[in-house]
Structure 1
Amino acid sequence: MNRRKKQIRSESHRRKRWNRLMIKAGIAVGTVGIIVGLLAWGSHATFISIQTIQVSGNNVSKSASIVSTAEDVLDGNYIGLFSKDNSIIFPRGRTRSAIKQQYPRIKSVDLSLQSLSTLRIHVAERSPVGIWCRADSTQVSANTPCYFVDKHGYVYAEAPHFSNDVFFRYYQTASTTQSIGTQLMPTDTFRRISAFKDAVEQRLDMNTIGFVNMNTTDGRLLVNQKLDNEAFKGGIVFNYRDNLRTLFENLKTVVQKDILLSQMQNSDRKLSTIDMRFGNKVYFRFEDT
């Protein structure tokens, strides 16, 4: 009999504990729900919502387009509750990424709040160091697509067709997969080729006008140069994976010791190529008559 009474009291005690636990859990969930609801409601408050977007730093990219892209990112809510245009919690990273992805011309995006309701977007645009033409050779027609390239070898915008050599030109096979928003070639390779080109121009005083990417290792630096009364309009062929400092010193020897001029004067054919792909040996190739 006493044992049965103890069992009844024990079961009653467990039920009471369970009920108290459920009540506490309900209160906790309800409290969290109220707090979340208040925060969600507060996130939509007008005085902390981004209502004005200002754009600066752009020269070519249109301000209205940049604003529209940012507004698309800020539209809607997080998990259906918290406003994305709230100046405290708006998605900074996604806003930057969306603008840079939409406009490859833009290389950097800085976001700052002028006030709780005004977002300032400052952008920096890429500057061209040359033009890449999607062609196997220098024969470019009005239908050949050409694009601006920045100092890192990044292709960022379609370029108009210029009637003269306003920009240094890069030529690469028409079957290449590169397009706007991609690298013409690895950044390190592009910089090495650019440094070699600059050295030829500045230290040897030779007029370079373009570069033909022949394959994955060889390139042809196009030169239009006059030496005394002799004109050299051709190319310097080299392996751009070689030591370009050594290659440049070899070329300097050829030019400064008048070896190049001598080769041009002693032939009744026009010099077309200086081939430097064979170590310290330099080969001269002439046009067939």
Structure 2
Amino acid sequence: MLLGAICAVLVLLFLLSLWFANTSWLKITHVSVSGENVVPQASIEEVVQDGLVGKYAGLFSKANIFFYPKKSIEQDLHTLYPTLGTISIRALDFHTIAVTVSEREPSALWCPAADSTQCVLLDESGFAYAHAPEYSGNVYKTYLGALPDGPLPKQFLTPERFHSLSALVETFAKKIATTTVTTVAVDENNDVHIGTSDGYKILFALEENGGDVFQHFVLTLTAAPFTTHALSEFEYIDLRFGDKVYYKLKN
């Protein structure tokens, strides 16, 4: 008798949960989208609505305000529209969910070669998310180096390394303000080659602390032959070997 009562309670709970998951007064019927710019609002709404179609195990509605597949919808949006940076989905009431997005801002370019026009946009974390239009002039600094095979999106370096490297590059750019940083190449040995519009390069190891690299560079400029020659007269300045600095003057 006790077993029968337990089974009856379990069946009742199951039926109640089934009703709760499928009742119309908890069904999502409206999607509010904000923050979009490049990606059309209707496209975002369509992805969200597609994610609400169907039932879990053929029983529990995915459109229920308490059980909708938030994470999978976010993943679908990121996959279909890599230009989207942050995505926030939350319930406004029993029938409405709000989707707030922010779109990635380009911070730099990645190109397969310095003279290539087949470049992609990088955000501030080195995330390659879209093909770049052709720009005139040095609108963004161009990064060169290995990028994973396959379609976009991809990651150039790691976010931490790209943050550190781009910050160091900006510091160099301010110090050598009479010229322009044109390329930042990371080779297979993780050595960085900063190219400038004056034709000289600055070399250092990616693994080195950025502050130490820059301090080394500043101290180098206070010694001969850098006190008697403009930087534009050099072919390269190599900071990869500790306290030693190697350089070459142009012919």
How does the TM-score come out when normalised to structure 2? 0.86
User: Following the alignment from structure 1 to structure 2, what is the Cα–Cα distance between the partners of residues 105 and 256?
Assistant: 45
> Which residue of 56, 59, 62 maps to 1:78?
56
Count, aligned residues: 250
Secondary structure at 1:120's aligned position in 2?
A: strand
Instruction: State the AA in 1 paired with 2:130.
Output: A
Question: What is the CA distance between 1:50 and its match in structure 2?
Answer: 0.8
Counterpart mapping for 1:59-208 below 5 A: 59-135=37-113, 138-140=114-116, 142=117, 144=118, 146-173=119-146, 176-177=148-149, 180-205=152-177, 206-208=179-181
Higher gyration radius (CA): 1
Match of residue 49 from structure 1: 27
Instruction: State the AA in 1 paired with 2:242.
Output: G
Deviations 1:36-59 (A, max 9, x none): 234323433333211111111122
Instruction: State the AA in 1 paired with 2:170.
Output: D
Deviations 1:145-195 (A, max 9, x none): x1111111111122112132111111125x853752332002222122112
Q: Does the alignment pair 1:281 with 2:244?
A: yes
User: Following the alignment from structure 1 to structure 2, what is the Cα–Cα distance between the partners of residues 88 and 212?
Assistant: 49
Q: 1:46 to 1:280 in 2, by over 3 A?
A: same
Deviations 1:212-255 (A, max 9, x none): 1122320111222xxxxxxx323211112123322212222344
User: Following the alignment from structure 2 to structure 1, what is the Cα–Cα distance between the partners of residues 82 and 60?
Assistant: 31
Q: Which has the higher helix share?
A: 1
Identity of aligned residues (%): 24
Secondary structure at 2:64's aligned position in 1?
A: coil
Would you say the 8 A contact 2:193–2:201 is kept in 1? Answer: yes
Would you say the 8 A contact 1:155–1:182 is kept in 2? Answer: yes
Point out where structure 2 has 5 or more consecutive residues left out of the alignment.
none
User: Following the alignment from structure 1 to structure 2, what is the Cα–Cα distance between the partners of residues 214 and 101?
Assistant: 29
Secondary structure at 1:194's aligned position in 2?
A: helix
Q: 1:179 to 1:262 in 2, by over 3 A?
A: farther
Point out where structure 1 has 5 or more consecutive residues left out of the alignment.
1-19, 225-231
Counterpart mapping for 1:236-275 below 5 A: 236-255=202-221, 259-260=225-226, 262-264=228-230, 271-275=234-238
Would you say the 8 A contact 2:86–2:101 is kept in 1? Answer: yes
The list of structure 1 runs, each at least 4 consecutive aligned residues, that deviate by more than 6 angstroms after superposition, is: none
Q: 1:124 to 1:158 in 2, by over 3 A?
A: same
Instruction: State the AA in 2 paired with 1:241.
Output: E
Would you say the 8 A contact 1:155–1:179 is kept in 2? Answer: no
Question: What is the CA distance between 1:123 and its match in structure 2?
Answer: 1.0
Deviations 1:259-281 (A, max 9, x none): 4363459xxx9533222222222
User: Following the alignment from structure 2 to structure 1, what is the Cα–Cα distance between the partners of residues 168 and 122?
Assistant: 17
Give RMSD over aligned pairs: 2.6
User: Following the alignment from structure 1 to structure 2, what is the Cα–Cα distance between the partners of residues 55 and 251?
Assistant: 49
Instruction: State the AA in 1 paired with 2:173.
Output: E
Question: What is the CA distance between 1:69 and its match in structure 2?
Answer: 1.6
Instruction: State the AA in 1 paired with 2:144.
Output: Y
User: Following the alignment from structure 2 to structure 1, what is the Cα–Cα distance between the partners of residues 36 and 235?
Assistant: 43
User: Following the alignment from structure 2 to structure 1, what is the Cα–Cα distance between the partners of residues 245 and 76?
Assistant: 50
